[in-house]
Amino acid sequence: MAALPVLAACGPKWQEEQKDGYVLVTQKKGATLGYSAESGVKLIEDKGYVFKDLNRNGALDVYEDWRRPAEERAKDLASQLDIEEIAGLMLYSGHQAIPGAAYGRGGATYDGKSLQESGKKPYDMTDQQKKFLKEDNLRAVLVTSVESPEVAARWNNNVQAYVESFGHGIPANNSSDPRNETQATAEFNMGAGGKISLWPTTLGLAATFDPSIVEEFGRIASKEYRALGIATALSPQIDLATEPRWSRFNGTFGEDPDLDVDMARAYVDGFQTTEGSADGWGLESVNAMVKHWPSGGPEEGGRDAHYNYGKYAVYPGNNFSDHLRAFVEGAFKLNGGTKSATAVMPYYTISYNIDPSGKNVGNSYNKYIITDLLREKYGYQGVVCTDWNITYDNAAIEAFDGKCWGVEDLTVAERHYEVIKAGVDQFGGNNDKGPVLEAYNMWVQEFGEGDARVRFEQSAVRLLLNSFRTGLFENPYLDPAKTAEIVGNPEFMQAGYEAQVKSVVMVKNHGNALPKQEKLKVYVPKRHFPRAGGMFGLTPGTSERWDWPVAKELVEKYYEWVDDPAQADFALVMIQGPQSGSGYDVADRQKGGNGYVPISLQYNDYKAVDARAESIAGGDRLEKSANRTYKNKTVKTPNINDLKLVVDTKKAMGDKPVVVVVNLSRPAVLAEFEPYADAILVTMGVQNQAVLDLVSGKYEPSGLLPMQLPANMKTVEEQCEDVPRDMECLVDADGNKYDFAFGLNWSGVINDERVAKYK
């Protein structure tokens, strides 16, 4: 074996080419390599093939040899790393926008200045990124917004060249939360392409009741992810959504275990499988981090565990087992060669009274949840990564800060230690290796140096495997021009759009009000958009306004727009499902209450007369009472004007048809406006153009409800948070029951093979 200088004369089996920002090495029947000419990495030749000398020792190490199995390579490299390097692998960065911006904990700087002041390019690394990549040895980077696909590609290349230039040359494993969801107002144009293909929400994908569509989404999205430099998807969210009030319902595949299992399997197979690969792994593979073990679906009262007031998941129906099925029967038992999802994220919740020992702590702190169940009973050997910021302090019940549920009295370092002892490998949202090193020292003191090394090296192997399997050690670099061609190309955009259309559910079509195939006159009333806060306080909110819910220019491609309902042939009313808050109100606490209020799924004011008098779970150092009841309290819905809009429009239209399009992120009580609607379309994250294509008859509705729509709030209060399909459903004026797997097409109630399989 001989070390070769950069851009040396090529051998008989390989050749080099200078690309845009990196060197590409191709070889016959061998791995394609990419490296930076400025990183100091050279090539090593062995038996006519070349390899990257990532640690610059002049020898071909096992981990550098692409001919070896990924497991051997990961073990070899882990054995070479010191504890500081392993600690870095166990970190997962906070959210990184490209270019950097103020987000979460502090803002990004470039040489101590803002991007504009510094004169840097949007794809240059921030000061913070350089620090956590080099000083903290972090390699798992969570990417949020990107200025463009090309900027994302160039930023990726800068990061990879940087980390290749020191240590063992371990590449960055960049990741993303779901990126392919639509903006309703973004008009579809097959020829235009876009920043990325646009698909329904996860709940909308579930409404297709077609796992093959979900697998196709995974195949397409994984190609786009890899073209952006993303090798890990923080998805799918396969929590069984048995609690209808939960704010994250729309990120799930709905409330049915069988459908959840099949959709979870299809999603992971689509993302992780490189077609034509013997074992499924390749340069189009994206690691899937399924979430949230063991399901965050059964939140008491629907309150979400991002906040202290929602930290308890409860099981009044004794139905813990159904919540595991999408993991153990779906994501961990794939049809493709990759066999199992490579990573799992536990949810913030305390799975209340599930641990036989009686220990009630957040799932990532719970050895029974992570080791006894996930690792041992179900044999899961992949990466377990905490949800974000679970080791930080929590200052107030309503604060969006640390989520250290059940271990609030421990220090930050002690929390890290408890998480590692529970069997977890990686800390989401932690850029600092310090607490991990403190946890290592605690392990040494309790179990000895040898045992500590074994445990930490075990996590290192798991984490490194996900970079070896996806080919990052061979070539993590991107051609920006190819990235621009791949991401959001017309074929991908078309596939996403067709999935959007198939996700829409028609639940009412009284008197065959739809389709409206002629160029008729349509009245579209303005909608009241109430002021809305940003997501979890991290993104900007919106101000109150009255505005049209759809562009006039788009509607006029189908119909003649009129402002007077008296002149219209029909009305198109576009609204949102009821949004009544988070289940906690500081004002209630300040008035002497416990702070807990109902989450309503109806538009009119709601008084919780049927709520529990005593909560199932409760207790917190910041609260005087362990009873989190909200019985007999009243809550208002800020978008009550959506209900009034339907009622007022029907009065104005008289006997002429009113078509209501309601966008739902979770179940809702539609009984309040159903009598005033001749047709109702339920959407779950689609472009307005898809709605108009259905209303006009260009497509026929085919979606089915992936959830029950309750008859009233009484049945919502009386259902069990952990039990699927246990509510009384709305029955409309035509006698149709808005139950799971219900939907209409032009001929009436859909009763096809999907319904037969799942209902």
| C-alpha separations of 547 from 386, 530, 588 in Å | 41, 11, 32
Token digits for 685? 């994250």
CB hemisphere CA count around 615 (13 angstroms): 25
Cβ pair 67, 47 in contact under 8 A: no
Beta-ladder partners of 345 = 291
In this prediction, residues 233-240 reach a mean pLDDT of: 97
Q: Is the pLDDT of residue 13 over 80?
A: yes
Beta-ladder partners of 26 = 15
What is residue 745's three-state secondary structure? strand
CA 110 – CA 129 distance, rounded (Å): 10
Which of 9, 170, 189, 2 lies closest to 90 in space, CA to CA? 170
Phi-psi region of 68 (alpha: psi -120 to 50; beta: other; left: phi over 0): beta
List, in order, residues 6 or more apart from 748 with CB less than 8 Å away: none
pTM of the predicted model, to two decimals? 0.96
In this prediction, residues 42-62 reach a mean pLDDT of: 97
Residue entry with tokens 């959504």: 241
Under DSSP, the state recorded for 164 is H
pLDDT for position 10: 58
What is residue 6's three-state secondary structure? coil
pLDDT for position 190: 46
pLDDT for position 194: 60
Q: What DSSP assignment string belongs to 622-662?
A: T-S-S----TT-EE--TTHHHHHHHHHHHHHHTTS-EEEEE
Angle of helix 434-447 relative to helix 449-469, nearest 10 degrees, comes to 140
In this prediction, residues 460-488 reach a mean pLDDT of: 97
Which of 348, 313, 188, 171 lies closest to 240 in space, CA to CA? 313
pLDDT for position 523: 98
Confidence band for 184, pLDDT divided at 50, 70 and 90: confident
Q: Is the pLDDT of residue 465 over 90?
A: yes
What is residue 26's three-state secondary structure? strand
In this prediction, residues 161-180 reach a mean pLDDT of: 96
Helices (H) and strands (E) in the chain, counts: 21, 28
Confidence band for 485, pLDDT divided at 50, 70 and 90: very high
In this prediction, residues 747-757 reach a mean pLDDT of: 98
Q: What pLDDT digit, counting tens, does each position of 508-524 carry?
A: 999 999 999 999 999 99
Q: Is the pLDDT of residue 423 over 90?
A: yes
Indicate the CATH number of 504-579+639-758 among 3.40.50.1110, 3.40.50.1700, 1.10.3720.10, 3.40.50.360.
3.40.50.1700
Q: What pLDDT digit, counting tens, does each position of 600-638 carry?
A: 999 999 999 999 999 999 999 999 999 999 999 999 999
What are the contacts of 561-565 at 24+ separation with CB within 8 A? Answer: 561/521, 561/522, 561/524, 562/521, 562/522, 562/523, 563/523, 564/523, 565/523, 565/525, 565/649, 565/652, 565/653, 565/656
CA 408 – CA 395 distance, rounded (Å): 10
pLDDT for position 2: 44
Residues of the chain with CATH 3.40.50.1700: 504-579+639-758
Confidence band for 426, pLDDT divided at 50, 70 and 90: very high
- Summary mean pLDDT of the chain: 95
74-184+201-486 topology per CATH = TIM Barrel (3.20.20)
Q: pLDDT above 70 covers what percent of the chain? A: 95
Which of 257, 9, 44, 254 lies closest to 169 in space, CA to CA? 44
pLDDT for position 107: 81
Q: What pLDDT digit, counting tens, does each position of 556-592 carry?
A: 999 999 999 999 999 999 999 999 999 999 999 999 9
pLDDT for position 191: 45
pLDDT for position 532: 76
Q: Is the pLDDT of residue 1 over 60?
A: no
In this prediction, residues 177-196 reach a mean pLDDT of: 69
pLDDT for position 360: 98
Which of 391, 382, 393, 397 lies closest to 413 in space, CA to CA? 391
Q: Is the pLDDT of residue 102 over 70?
A: no
Token digits for 440? 């290592």
Which of 362, 243, 230 lies closest to 294 in space, CA to CA? 362
Residues of the chain with CATH 3.20.20.300: 74-184+201-486
CA 692 – CA 501 distance, rounded (Å): 10
In this prediction, residues 263-276 reach a mean pLDDT of: 97
In this prediction, residues 267-294 reach a mean pLDDT of: 97
Q: What pLDDT digit, counting tens, does each position of 642-663 carry?
A: 999 999 999 999 999 999 999 9
Q: Is the pLDDT of residue 8 over 70?
A: no
